[in-house]
Structure 1
Amino acid sequence: MYIVTLTYCVSHERIDDALPAHRVYLDAQFAAGNFIAAGPKLPRDGGVIVASNMDRARLDTILAADPFAQQELATYAVTEFKATRLAPGLNLPVPEAS
């Protein structure tokens, strides 16, 4: 599982211009089962994505397809962790076979 932290490196105006394309990208990743949570940081200086069910190389490829990455609007920091406890009722995707 991964926590991806985006930090904007351009004005909010440029972020807002790219936001519709970024949302389409997010929708596709949620539909594919790659992302399980996403949203803006507060204060609004970037965002956070929780990703699961993939190896790091695949995650890097997926993140490179984000319009924010392609337009160099944000930087990305990735933290991998192993979830050993989940809240009751929280179901996560089953990891891929290695």
Structure 2
Amino acid sequence: MYLIMLTYRRPLAEVDAQLAAHRAFLERHYDAGHFLMSGPREPRTGGIILARAASAAAVAEWVSEDPFKQAGVADYEVVGWRPGMAAPGWPLDAAG
């Protein structure tokens, strides 16, 4: 599993101009089963995506397709992790 952490590097007006395209990007990856959760940080300085992937290279390829990345409005940090514990009702095998 991977956490994709976005940090906005441009004013929110520039981020918002790419928001519809970014959401379409997210929807494509939800439909493909890659993304499990996503949303903005609080305060709104970026966002976080929880993803499952076979490799960090696959995640890097997805990130390169994000309109936020292509427009230069966000920086990305990708962190790989393997869940070892979960609250009741949360599956540990979500990584697939």
**Residue number in structure 2 paired with 1:32:** 32
Question: TM-score, with normalisation over the residues of structure 2?
Answer: 0.92
Question: Structure 1 residues 15 and 78 mapped into 2: Cα distance closer, same or farther (>3 Å)?
Answer: same
Question: TM-score, with normalisation over the residues of structure 1?
Answer: 0.90
Question: Structure 1 residues 49 and 83 mapped into 2: Cα distance closer, same or farther (>3 Å)?
Answer: same
1:3-82 paired onto structure 2 within 5 Å: 3-82=3-82
Tell me how large the CA RMSD over aligned residues is: 1.1
User: For the Cα contact (< 8 Å) 2:2–2:53, is it kept in 1?
Assistant: no
More helix by share: 2
2:47 alignment partner, SS class:
strand
1:62 alignment partner, SS class:
helix
Q: Which runs of 5+ in 2 are unaligned?
A: none
Q: Which runs of 5+ in 1 are unaligned?
A: none
Q: Matched residues in 2 for 1:66 and 1:41: separation?
A: 17
